[in-house]
């Protein structure tokens, strides 16, 4: 057994749709997901009958001489954040993504090799919907880098990999989405292939457009826009770090 110290860092934050004046958000560190309630208070109740102004219960043997109606008094604005639920112990590897479903009832969490599906009200159980762990870990060729639910179709989600591939899965096909519905990958130009090709093609994040028709993916040197109706290549590619192409050797040596 290995005991690992979990770093004090938040990997992802996802807001839930508002249902009342408070905000609710999901946050995750490397291992544990939490649901938080963030609320504002600018009034406080005063004039209780059975407790004093500090909230300490009064001695019942003294009785209540007169009844009064508690009133709300203005106070300085306070922002309170309180953890409402904790979803622990579902991932062997470090969590890299969480994404709330459009049904606002379920969400997914992803680590290097697995994607799990949760219900927001159930903290002690999740369902494994993607598992790419090979029987022999020496045969491991890729890891999951990000996962995201479709913004309107609650059965669709995508996950990206270190091989520069995005897979679209449909949860209506089977409980375990080990077979993807679509695979988005740009064929590599053999002329530009180099020692670094595999490393720089690894996708670090993927997001849907609001309409759900397009996706945007980020790799080491570029941002790509994909149309869900066209798997063969991205519709647009933006080279954002082209000046680093000549410095890849130095970046590789110092792990950047």
At 198 the pLDDT is: 86
- pLDDT recorded at residue 45: 84
Determine the pLDDT at residue 187.
86
Residue-wise pLDDT tens digits, 159-185: 999 999 999 999 999 889 888 999 999
Higher per-residue confidence, 201 vs 193: 201
Q: Are 91 and 75 in contact (CB under 8 A)?
A: no
The span from the CA of 133 to the CA of 81, in Å, is 37
Q: Where are the domains of the chain?
A: 1-88, 90-255
Condensed to tens digits (0 to 9), the pLDDT of residues 126-157 reads 999 999 999 999 999 999 999 999 999 999 99
The total of other beta-carbon atoms located within 10 Å of residue 146's CB is 21
Report the CATH fold assignment for 90-255. Answer: Methylamine Dehydrogenase; Chain H (2.130.10)
**CA–CA dist 91, 95 (Å, integer):** 7
List, for residues 23-47, the tens digit of each pLDDT value.
999 999 999 999 999 999 888 888 8
Per-residue confidence band for 2, with pLDDT thresholds at 50, 70 and 90: low
Provide the token pair at 8.
Answer: 């004090």
**Residue 204: which residues within 8 A CB-CB, separation 6 or more?**
145, 146, 218, 219, 220
């Amino acid at each position: 057994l290995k005991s690992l110290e979990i770093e004090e860092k938040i990997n992802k934050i996802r807001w839930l749709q508002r249902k009342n004046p408070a905000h609710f958000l999901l946050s995750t560190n490397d291992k544990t997901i939490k649901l938080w309630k963030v609320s504002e208070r600018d009034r406080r109740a005063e004039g209780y009958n059975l407790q004093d102004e500090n909230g300490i219960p009064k001695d019942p043997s003294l009785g209540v001489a007169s009844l009064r109606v508690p009133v709300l008094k203005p106070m300085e604005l306070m922002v309170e954040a309180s953890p409402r639920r904790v979803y622990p112990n579902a991932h062997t590897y470090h969590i890299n993504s969480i994404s709330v479903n459009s049904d606002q009832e379920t969400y997914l969490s992803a680590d290097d090799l697995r994607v799990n599906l949760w219900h927001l009200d159930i903290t002690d159980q999740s369902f494994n919907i993607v598992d790419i762990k090979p029987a022999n870990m020496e045969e491991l060729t890729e890891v999951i880098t990000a996962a995201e639910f479709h913004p309107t179709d609650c059965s669709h989600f995508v996950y990206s990999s270190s091989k520069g591939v995005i897979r679209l899965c449909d949860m209506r096909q089977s409980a375990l989405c080990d077979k993807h519905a679509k695979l988005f990958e740009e064929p590599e130009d053999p002329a530009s292939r180099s020692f670094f090709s595999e490393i720089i093609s690894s996708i670090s994040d993927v997001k849907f457009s609001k309409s759900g028709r397009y996706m945007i993916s980020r790799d080491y040197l570029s941002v790509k826009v994909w149309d869900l109706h066209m798997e063969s290549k991205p519709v647009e590619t933006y080279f954002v770090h082209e000046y680093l192409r000549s410095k890849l050797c130095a970046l590789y040596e110092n792990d950047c």
